Chain A
Amino acid sequence: MQMSDSREVAAPREVVWAAILNPDVLKECVPGCTEMTGNAEDGFEATVVQKVGPVKATFKGQVNVSERDEPNSLKLSGEGKGGAAGFAKGSATVHLEENGEGTLLKYDVDANVGGKLAQLGSRVIDGFAKKMADQFFTRLQEAIEGPADPEEAPEAEQTPGDKKKGWFKRLVS
C-alpha cells in the first residue's frame, strides 16, 4: 500500500532532521517499539510489538536510513520479521521544507506485509499502516514541540509520552 501526507512542525529543519536520526526519538515514535539500538550510519535494530487485525506478534528487524540529503530529505526503510506471523516491510521518504519559522514535513509511505499478516490481515492493513504512520509522525512532532493541547493527546501516546513532551526540542535548544 502507498500513502502520502504532510504536517507542520514548529521547529527548524535542522532540529527535525536531528530528531529523525536519533535512536531514542525513533524508539519513542515507532508505535509498539520496545527496543531500538544502533545509529543512523549503520542502521538501527528494532523490536516492535504490534497487533494487526487478529495477528499479534513481536517483530525484530532493521531500520536503515538512506538517500540522505541533509536537511532536505531522507528515506527510512525497515523490515521486521514476526516469526509465524509473517513479515512487514516498508519505507518512508521524508521531505523537509522551510515553512516560516518551522518545517513542513512531507512523507510518502510504501508498506508491504507477507505471510500470515497478509493472509488474515489484508482487509485491515491499509488502515493499520495509515494509523502507524500517523502515530509515528504525531509522536515525532510531539517529541519535538510538545502536543498542541495535552487534553487532546491521542490515547495511544499516553503511556510513554506524558513526561517527555517536547523533550527532544528542549534537549537541543
Chain B
Amino acid sequence: MPKDTGIGASTKRREDVRFLTGVGNYTDDVNIYGQAYVHFLRSDVAHGRIKNIDTSAASGMPGVVRIFTGADFEGVGGIPCGWQITDRHGNPMQEPAHPVLAQGKVRHVGDPIAAIVAETLEEARDAAEAIELDIEELPAVVDMKAAVADGATKVHDDLENNLCYDWGFVEENREAVDKAIKEAAHVTTLELVNNRLVANPMEPRVAVGDYNRADDMSTLYTTSQNPHVIRLLMGAFVLGIPEHKLRVVAPDVGGGFGTKIFHYAEEAFCTFAARQLKRAVKWTSSRSEAFMSDAHGRDHVTKIELALDKDNNFTAIRTETYANMGAYLSTFAPSVPTWLHGTLMAGNYKTPLIYVNVKAVFTNTVPVDAYRGAGRPEATFQLERVVDKAARELGVDPVALRRQNFITEFPYSTPVAVEYDTGDYDATMDKLQEIADFAGFEARRKESEKRGKLRGLGINCYIEACGIAPSNLVGQLGARAGLYESATVRVNATGGITVMTGSHSHGQGHETSFPQVVAEMLGIDASMVEIVHGDTANTPMGMGTYGSRSIAVGGSAMVRATEKIINKAKKIASHLLEASEADIELKDGQFTVAGTDKSVAWGDVTLAAYVPHNYPLEDIEPGLEETAFYDPANFTYPSGAYACEVEVDPETGKVTVERFAAADDFGNIINPMIVSGQVHGGIAQGVGQALLENCAYDENGQLLSASYMDYAMPRADDVPFYQVDHSCQTPCTHNPLGVKGCGEAGAIGSPPAVINAVIDALHSGGHTHVEHINMPATPARVWAAMQK
C-alpha cells in the first residue's frame, strides 16, 4: 500500500497550482516604480577590435537615460570564475579578464558592447541602432584543435595562447596506462563529439536592479538557481558591495538546467546601473539573445581507448578530450570537463587503470559551462559507447560484457580518486531487462522489419556523482567556494513550520518534497510546513541548486535543523509532562512519556515555547527555531541501467524512439512521482541531445542556430511513454536521509542508449560498417552513414 503522506508518498506538487493557473511570480513579473529598461548592443562579429564607439547621436534619442560602454566599467571588477584548475605540470590555468561590457575587443557573437538605458525598451532599442561602431573584424577562432595549433589567432591577447589548461588525471597513472594499452589483448578506440547544446529554459533570463538611496541598499531580482552565490560573486568580486547591503532575490524561476547557476554580466550591469542612476533598471532577455548570451553546454571532442585482456576484462582506459570554454570562463566552466568528468570515467566498471587528459580551449564562441549532468553525461557517453563498440568487435553480448566488469563490492575506490559508497549494478540491470522486456525484442524487431523499418535495442549503464560536495575536498580541487547547504526551521507558536532553505527550487518540486521530510520526522501533516527559498534577505547562506544536490545536501541540513527542533521540543514536553527528557517519545505529533498514556500535543509544546508561562526558562531559551549547516562527507553515487529501442527508416534515415526504459538506483526516495518526473524530463533532454539539438557555428564564428527554426528542441511526439523504475535502492551511507539525487540521471543515462540503439538498428539492416554516428543523429547523418 503506497503511503499517502510523509517520506515515500507521491504527494501532488503544491506549487503546480500557481504555475498552472498563471499566478507564479517570475522575475519578469517584478516591476518597480520608476524603473528604466536596458537593451544591450551585442557584437555581431565573433572577434574584433573595438576602434571606436560613438554614442553621441544615440544619447540624444528620445527617452534615453544613459548609455554605458566598457569604459564605464574600468574601475569595476570583471565577472569572476569560481574554480581554478591546476594543469598537468602544476601550473594554474590561464584565466582571462571578463569585463561586464566589452573592453578593447569583442570575442563572440553576443558579447555586450554597450548598454542603453531608456524610459522604454523600444526607445532603448531604437537608440542602439544610432550607436556608431567602428570594429575591425579579426580572424575568428572556432575549431578547438585549430585554436591550439601554433600561430593561431589569440582570443585573449594577454594570454600565452588559447589553451586554458592541459589537465591530466591521474597524472601518475599515465605511463602505467600507456603500458597496459600496449600490452592489451584487445583495444577498442572511438573518436566522438559531444555536441554543443543550448539549455533553453522556458523562462529566459531576467535581471532587475534596484537601489534605495535612503539606506544604501542594492537589490537584484534575477533568474538564478543560487541567489546567495550571485550575491557573493557580484558583491565581493564585481561591484564591491558587502553582503549586508546587497539582497539577491530569485523568485519563481522557470527552469534552469544549469544555465542559471552562473553569474552573468547582465546581473552585474543592472545592479551597477541602478546605483549610478538611482532608479531601478530592468533587462529581459529575448529568446534570440538567450541563444547568444546564456552559457552553452557540452562541446567536447574526445578520443577514448578501452583495453581488455584475453578474457574480456577491462584493463585500462585512456582518453583525450578537447573541451570548449568559449571566449571567457563562466562561473564553473573549468570544473566541468575535469573534476565532474574525469572522476566519473570508471563508470560502473572495475577498470584498474585510467588516464584522462583534457585540453580546455578558448574560442570565439559563447562561454560553455554546466548543463544538466555537467561532465557526467560526457563521461558516460564515451564510456558506454566504447563498451558497446568493444562488445560488437569481440562478438559478445553487450549486457554480459558489462556485467562481467561490474563493480560488485562496496565501498569501492576507483582509480580516478572517488569512493563509491553503495550500489548494485546487477540489480538495476536485472530490473531493466524486466521493464524493457528484452525477451520480446526479437518479435518487435521482426514486426518492424515487416514494415520495412530497422529496429535497434541500445542499452547502457551510468554512474554519476551528486550532492556536490565536501568543502574541504573541493577546496583542494580548486573550488573557490564551500559546497555545504543550510536550513532554518522556524516553528511558529501555533505549530505551523516555515523552513528557510538555501536550496532553490526551479522545477524540482522542493515546496512539496521538503515538507514531506519534516512532516515525517515530526509526525504532523505536511500541509503544516511551508518552504521559503530564493531570497538572501530571509534565508540563511546557501549554495543553491545544481548537481542534483538539493535533497542530499539541502535536505540533510533541513533534517539536522529539525533534529535540533525535536531535541528542544522534547525538553519542553518533559517539563510540561513532569517527566524525564529521556523518556519522551515523539510519534504522530504527540509527545508521550514512554510506557504511559501521558502525552502532550505538538501544538501545546510549540505554544509553550512562545508563551513560556509554564516553561523551564532557567534551562532553555524560549522560542523554537533552529539553523543547521550541512557539509557532506562524500558525493552520492546514483546509478542505473537504461534501454532504448529505436526504429530507423532506411529510406530517409529518420530515427524514432519507440520505447525507453530506465532502472535507477537513487537510494531512498522522498516523493516517487516527483522522481519519475525528473527522470522523464532528463530523458527528454537526453533524447533531444542524441537526435535533435545542435548549436552550430560557421567558420567565421557566426552562430547559425539561434531560433527554434534552427535549433531543434524535443517535442512531446519525439519521445515515447517511458518505463521508469526506481525500486532498486541502495541507500546512501553518509547522509541522514540515505538519498542520492535524481535531477540529472535521465540526461546522463539516455544519450548513449539512443545512439547504441541506432547503431544496433543499422547493423541489423546489414550496415555493419557503421561504427559510430555523432549526435545529433539527424536523418541526414544516419542516411549518409548508411550509404558508405
The A-contacting residues of B in range 688-719, CB under 8 angstroms, are 696, 698, 700, 702-707, 709-710
Contact A118 B698 (CB under 8 A): yes
Q: Which of B129, B696, B706 contacts A120 (CB 8 A)?
A: B706
Contact B129 A113 (CB under 8 A): no
Contact B707 A120 (CB under 8 A): yes
Q: Contacts of A86 on B, CB cut-off 8 Å?
A: 44
Q: Bound state CA distance, A2 and B709, in angstroms?
A: 23
Q: Which of B44, B45, B696, B698 contacts A116 (CB 8 A)?
A: B44
Q: Contacts of B129 on A, CB cut-off 8 Å?
A: 83-84
Q: Does A112 contact B (CB under 8 A)?
A: yes
B701 and chain A: residue at smallest CB distance? A114
Contact A119 B45 (CB under 8 A): no
Q: Does A59 contact B (CB under 8 A)?
A: no
Q: Contacts of B109 on A, CB cut-off 8 Å?
A: 114-115, 118-119
B44 and chain A: residue at smallest CB distance? A115
Q: Does B292 contact A (CB under 8 A)?
A: yes
Contact B125 A119 (CB under 8 A): no
Contact A87 B44 (CB under 8 A): yes
B692 to chain A, nearest CB (A): 15
Q: Contacts of B703 on A, CB cut-off 8 Å?
A: 118-119
Q: Does A123 contact B (CB under 8 A)?
A: yes
Q: Bound state CA distance, A53 and B696, in angstroms?
A: 18
Contact A122 B44 (CB under 8 A): no
Q: Does B212 contact A (CB under 8 A)?
A: no
A153 to chain B, nearest CB (A): 32
Q: Contacts of B125 on A, CB cut-off 8 Å?
A: 84
Q: Contacts of A113 on B, CB cut-off 8 Å?
A: 702
A113 and chain B: residue at smallest CB distance? B702
- What count of chain B residues pass the 8 Å CB interface test? 20
Q: Does B165 contact A (CB under 8 A)?
A: no
Q: Contacts of B705 on A, CB cut-off 8 Å?
A: 119, 122
Q: Bound state CA distance, A118 and B109, in angstroms?
A: 10
The A-contacting residues of B in range 404-428, CB under 8 angstroms, are none
The B-contacting residues of A in range 57-96, CB under 8 angstroms, are 83-84, 86-87
The B-contacting residues of A in range 97-150, CB under 8 angstroms, are 112-116, 118-120, 122-123
Most chain A CB within a 10 A radius of its CB, from B125, B696, B709: B709
Contact B291 A112 (CB under 8 A): no
The A-contacting residues of B in range 290-330, CB under 8 angstroms, are 291-292
Q: Does B128 contact A (CB under 8 A)?
A: yes
Given A86-B44, A114-B45, A115-B109, A122:B704 Cβ within 8 A: yes
Q: Bound state CA distance, A123 and B712, in angstroms?
A: 13
A120 to chain B, nearest CB (A): 5
Q: Contacts of B45 on A, CB cut-off 8 Å?
A: 114-115
B287 to chain A, nearest CB (A): 11
Contact with A along B511-551 (1 / 0, CB 8 A): 00000000000000000000000000000000000000000
A25 to chain B, nearest CB (A): 30
Q: Bound state CA distance, A123 and B702, in angstroms?
A: 13
Q: Bound state CA distance, A53 and B703, in angstroms?
A: 16
Q: Contacts of A53 on B, CB cut-off 8 Å?
A: 709
Q: Bound state CA distance, A123 and B705, in angstroms?
A: 9
A-B contact count (CB 8 A): 53
Q: Bound state CA distance, A84 and B707, in angstroms?
A: 15
Q: Which of B128, B700, B710 contacts A112 (CB 8 A)?
A: B700
Contact A118 B288 (CB under 8 A): no
Q: Interface size bucket, A side?
A: 10 to 19
B142 to chain A, nearest CB (A): 13
Contact B44 A114 (CB under 8 A): yes
Contact B128 A118 (CB under 8 A): no
B129 and chain A: residue at smallest CB distance? A83
A112 and chain B: residue at smallest CB distance? B700
Contact B709 A123 (CB under 8 A): yes
B39 and chain A: residue at smallest CB distance? A84
B41 to chain A, nearest CB (A): 9
Contact B288 A122 (CB under 8 A): no
Q: Bound state CA distance, A122 and B710, in angstroms?
A: 8
A62 to chain B, nearest CB (A): 14
Contact A123 B710 (CB under 8 A): yes
A6 to chain B, nearest CB (A): 27
Contact B700 A119 (CB under 8 A): no
Given A114-B44, A114-B109, A114-B700, A119:B128 Cβ within 8 A: no
Q: Contacts of B710 on A, CB cut-off 8 Å?
A: 119-120, 122-123
Q: Which of B128, B291, B292, B698 contacts A122 (CB 8 A)?
A: B698
Contact A84 B128 (CB under 8 A): yes
Q: Contacts of A119 on B, CB cut-off 8 Å?
A: 109, 288, 291-292, 702-707, 710
Q: Bound state CA distance, A37 and B704, in angstroms?
A: 33
B233 to chain A, nearest CB (A): 29
Q: Contacts of A123 on B, CB cut-off 8 Å?
A: 709-710
Most chain A CB within a 10 A radius of its CB, from B44, B45, B109, B288: B44
Contact with B along A137-172 (1 / 0, CB 8 A): 000000000000000000000000000000000000
A127 to chain B, nearest CB (A): 14
Q: Contacts of A122 on B, CB cut-off 8 Å?
A: 696, 698, 702, 704-705, 710
Q: Bound state CA distance, A118 and B128, in angstroms?
A: 20
Contact B288 A120 (CB under 8 A): yes
B43 and chain A: residue at smallest CB distance? A115
A1 to chain B, nearest CB (A): 10
B531 to chain A, nearest CB (A): 39
Q: Bound state CA distance, A29 and B705, in angstroms?
A: 32
Q: Contacts of B128 on A, CB cut-off 8 Å?
A: 84
Given A84-B129, A86-B44, A123-B709, A116:B288 Cβ within 8 A: yes
Contact A120 B44 (CB under 8 A): no
B697 and chain A: residue at smallest CB distance? A118
A129 to chain B, nearest CB (A): 14
B137 and chain A: residue at smallest CB distance? A114
A82 and chain B: residue at smallest CB distance? B44
A79 and chain B: residue at smallest CB distance? B137
Q: Bound state CA distance, A54 and B288, in angstroms?
A: 13
Q: Contacts of A120 on B, CB cut-off 8 Å?
A: 288, 706-707, 709-710
B42 and chain A: residue at smallest CB distance? A115
Contact A118 B702 (CB under 8 A): yes
Q: Bound state CA distance, A119 and B698, in angstroms?
A: 10
A53 to chain B, nearest CB (A): 8
Q: Contacts of B706 on A, CB cut-off 8 Å?
A: 116, 119-120
Q: Bound state CA distance, A83 and B709, in angstroms?
A: 22
Contact A114 B707 (CB under 8 A): no
A116 to chain B, nearest CB (A): 7
Which residues on B are within 8 Å of A, measured CB to CB? Answer: 44-45, 109, 125, 128-129, 288, 291-292, 696, 698, 700, 702-707, 709-710
7 A-B Cβ contacts within 8 A?
A: A83-B129, A84-B129, A119-B288, A120-B288, A122-B696, A122-B702, A122-B710
Top-7 shortest CB links A-B: A115-B44, A119-B706, A118-B702, A122-B704, A83-B129, A86-B44, A120-B707
New A-B contacts (5) at CB < 8 Å, excluding given A115-B45, A116-B44, A122-B704: A54-B709, A115-B109, A118-B109, A119-B292, A119-B705
